[in-house]
C-alpha cells in the first residue's frame, strides 16, 4: 500500500523573512533605551527631602488650675474639720485639704516646711475636675514655731502657700 503524500508542515520549509531581523533589532534597542531612562530617573544616591519643620509652638496657655485649700485637724466625709492657721503644740497632726479644678490627670505636691526646712513632699494625683484630696503631716510636740505648706504643680510652680504656727 502506498502512502499518500503528506502536505508539508506549515512552517517547516519557510525561510526567514528578510525584514524580521531588521525589525527586531530596533525594537530591542528601543526597549533597552526605555529601561535605561527609567533607571536614570530613579536616583538612589540622593538623600530624601528633609521633613518640613514643625509648626511653631503656640505660647503656653496661662494655668487654669484653681486651688482652694485650708489647714485642719482632721477630715470627715471628705470635708475639713476644725480649720485654722494656729495649732497647739499638742496637735499631733495637721491636714492640708484642697479642692482643685482644671488639673485632672496631673500630680500636685504638698510640700511641708518647718521654718525654712523642707520636712515633707507628698505627691497627689488629681483624678478629675473638680477633685478633693488631702495630706497629713505629723507634728512632734517640740516642733513649735512657724510652718508653711506649698501646693506645687508638676513643674514645681507654687500654686498656693499657707502659713501656720504650732504652739504659740
Q: Which tens digits make up the pLDDT trace of 98-145?
A: 999 998 899 999 999 999 999 999 999 999 889 999 999 999 989 999
CB 67 within 8 A of CB 159: yes
Report which secondary-structure segment, H or E, holds 159: strand 158-166
Domain boundaries, the chain: 66-166
Report which secondary-structure segment, H or E, holds 164: strand 158-166
The model's pTM is 0.62
Separation CA 132–CA 98 (nearest Å): 6
Q: Which tens digits make up the pLDDT trace of 6-64?
A: 666 555 555 555 555 556 666 666 666 666 656 555 555 555 666 666 655 444 445 58
The CATH class of 66-166 is mainly beta
Amino acid at each position: 500500500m502506498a502512502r499518500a503524500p503528506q502536505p508539508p508542515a506549515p512552517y517547516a520549509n519557510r525561510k526567514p523573512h528578510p525584514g524580521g531581523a531588521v525589525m527586531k533589532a530596533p525594537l530591542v534597542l528601543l526597549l533597552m533605551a526605555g529601561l535605561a531612562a527609567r533607571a536614570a530617573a530613579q536616583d538612589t544616591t540622593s538623600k530624601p527631602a528633609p521633613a518640613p519643620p514643625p509648626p511653631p509652638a503656640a505660647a503656653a496657655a496661662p494655668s487654669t488650675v484653681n486651688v482652694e485649700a485650708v489647714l485642719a485637724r482632721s477630715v470627715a466625709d471628705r470635708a475639713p474639720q476644725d480649720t485654722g492657721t494656729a495649732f497647739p503644740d499638742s496637735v499631733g497632726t495637721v491636714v492640708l485639704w484642697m479642692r482643685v479644678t482644671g488639673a485632672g490627670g496631673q500630680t500636685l505636691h504638698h510640700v511641708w516646711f518647718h521654718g525654712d526646712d523642707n520636712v515633707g513632699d507628698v505627691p497627689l494625683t488629681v483624678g478629675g475636675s473638680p477633685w478633693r484630696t488631702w495630706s497629713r503631716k505629723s507634728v512632734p510636740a517640740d516642733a513649735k514655731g512657724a510652718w508653711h505648706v506649698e501646693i506645687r504643680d508638676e513643674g514645681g510652680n507654687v500654686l498656693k502657700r499657707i502659713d501656720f504656727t504650732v504652739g504659740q
